[in-house]
Amino acid sequence: MNTEPFRWIVAILLGLVVSSWIRTYIRLRHIPGPPGVGFSKLWLLKKSFGGRFHLDTLETCEKYGSIVRIGPNELITNDIEVVRRTSAVRSPYVRSNWYDGLRFDPGHNTVLSESDEQVHLVLRTKMGAGYSGKEIDHLEQSIDANIAQLVELLTTKYLSTTDCYKPVDLAPKFQYFTLDVISDIAFGKSLGNLEADQDVWSFIKTVQDSTPLVIFLAIFPGLSKIFFSRLCERFWPKVTDSDGLGKLMAIAKDVVAERFGPNRKTHRDMIGSFIRHGLTQREAEAEAVLQFFAGAETSAIAIRATLLYITTNPQVCNSLLSELSSATISDPITDEEARKLPYLQAVIKEGLRLYPPITGLALKLVPAGGDTLKGHYIPGGTKIGWTPFGMMMNTEVWGADAKLFRPERWFEGSSDEKKRREMDVDMVFGYGKYLCLGRNIALMELNKIFVQLLRNFDFAVVDPTQPWKTYNVGLHMQSDMWMRVTKRIPSF
């Protein structure tokens, strides 16, 4: 048998592959980055699942510069102005197919995963009032009630005394709290996690199990089309499931169904606002599920990190307690009162700065014709994302002590410098047309929870050498945040 034709075919195919690799490498060869990133996504894949993705991307920008190549067609930046440019309302940059993997419903996009700019804008417009809290009658009262439930849980089950030591893992407790808040304001009824003192529908486990897959599909968006096809429908969670994502889908479906049809019910909650502004029944179901992933998980991360910084910095803790003791505040503290407490606000901002909850790449697409960023020409079609940790620990922006938790930095400098810092730290919520819709609700939770916890308790980390276990894969997976909780005599 004459094998010569087959050899030629193999040689041609190999030549095409090598030629493609070379062309891909050459188009971004002027951008520095780790070895081999111009030819494959192996570095990106390895770092994404190494458990310290937030630190790996931070360190990569510290080593190679403000714009770094991390894949054949992928760049990241730690420059705040570059992120503002790519996310501005009128920016020609758009979401890349990285977002294709961020779907929780195979057949339907949400405001998080939608890459069509016009559709995304319409969704944001319809949902803005609901997320702002302006059309939720019981927003602040709901947060107060769930904080009170958390305080009650710690008081009745986990309070240590000189004669009784009861260490408590606060990591899941804070997630119970944020899940109950988001379900309460979205549906008008909480999931009851705090009351049951457990993850009643295995939601936390669902997030931990599904996030690595979501990030994998975001890195290889071509696979998401296969994964979300009919071939995989039978493997996807269903509304008939007894727990996990399927159970949440069922709850959302039932709650939304009440708002449509001839016997529809009207509620002044978040879902009710979405529907009043034009969301269809199918859209409302999908967005309701997204709220649990986007709202509950991120807020819990911010609460854990900031409380840990407070409790492990005696000077900060004492300064905060001093401000609270001398202030005239309600019990529970109101959002308006909290916003007027400068040191509390500085602590919250510093916590968000040093520990941004979201660390995924959020890759945007460079417009046709390319762009020049930080002196580098970037060809059109290139994907560029951010490293939030890199942005918030950039010494050129925050000073030589950028990695130090120091709330006092928020009182330093001129009024213009202070205003600039405010704008810069707000970037943890995104910017422009991609600004997090739940920002106001998250800040209200943060404004309240630390005051109420410190009003009632003293916290001590059980093992300062390992205050928690954390694994980062675009989102922080935190557990074993063991603390001793003792009763504080209220002084404010």
- One-character DSSP codes across 386-437: E-HHHHHT-HHHH-TTTTS--GGGGG-S-HHHHHHHHHHHGGGG--GGG--T
Q: What is the mean pLDDT of residues 115-122?
A: 95
Note whether 485 and 457 are within 8 A (CB).
Answer: yes
- Asked if the structure places residue 257 within a domain, the reply is no
**Tens-place pLDDT, residues 404-441:** 999 999 999 999 999 999 999 999 999 999 999 999 99
- Asked if the structure places residue 470 within a domain, the reply is yes
- Asked if the structure places residue 112 within a domain, the reply is no
Token pair of 386 as six digits: 């951010």
- Asked if the structure places residue 5 within a domain, the reply is no
Query: Above 50 in pLDDT, residue 5?
Result: yes
Confidence (pTM): 0.93
Q: What is the pLDDT of residue 16?
A: 47
Query: Above 80 in pLDDT, residue 14?
Result: no
Residue carrying the six token digits 């918030």: 392
DSSP 8-state class, residue 296? I
Note whether 106 and 214 are within 8 A (CB).
Answer: no
Query: Above 60 in pLDDT, residue 492?
Result: yes
- Asked if the structure places residue 206 within a domain, the reply is no
- Asked if the structure places residue 77 within a domain, the reply is yes
Type of residue numbered 396: E
**Tens-place pLDDT, residues 167-214:** 999 999 999 999 999 999 988 889 999 999 999 988 888 888 888 888
**Residues tagged in the binding site annotation for heme:** 436
Query: Above 50 in pLDDT, residue 351?
Result: yes
Letter string b/e over residues 207-236, b meaning 16 or more CB atoms within 10 A of that residue's CB: bbeebbebbbbbbbbeebeebbeeeeeeee
**Tens-place pLDDT, residues 456-486:** 999 999 999 999 999 999 889 999 999 999 9
**Tens-place pLDDT, residues 147-168:** 999 999 999 999 999 999 999 9
CATH of the domain at 196: 1.10.630.10
Q: What is the mean pLDDT of residues 357-371?
A: 95
- Asked if the structure places residue 464 within a domain, the reply is yes
**Residues tagged in the binding site annotation:** 436
Give the span between the Cα atoms of 293 and 244, in whole angstroms.
12
Residue carrying the six token digits 């109420």: 452
Residue carrying the six token digits 């067609």: 73
Question: Residue 424: which domain range?
Answer: 31-96+137-201+291-487
Q: What is the pLDDT of residue 229?
A: 67
Token pair of 176 as six digits: 């119970």
Query: Above 70 in pLDDT, residue 231?
Result: no
**Tens-place pLDDT, residues 121-134:** 999 999 999 998 88
Percent of the chain, pLDDT > 90? 72
Higher pLDDT, 7 or 313: 313
Query: Above 70 in pLDDT, residue 359?
Result: yes
**Tens-place pLDDT, residues 34-93:** 999 999 999 999 999 999 999 999 999 999 999 999 999 999 999 999 999 999 999 999
Q: What value does the mean pLDDT of the chain take? A: 91
Number of domains into which the chain is organized: 1
Q: What is the pLDDT of residue 268?
A: 87
- Asked if the structure places residue 23 within a domain, the reply is no
| Count of other CB atoms within 10 angstroms of residue 474 | 21
The counts of H helices and E strands in the chain are: 21, 13
Burial class (CB in 10 A: 0-12, 13-18, 19+), 283: buried
Paired strand residues for 364:
95, 384
pLDDT confidence of 390, banded at 50, 70, 90? very high
Query: Above 80 in pLDDT, residue 451?
Result: yes
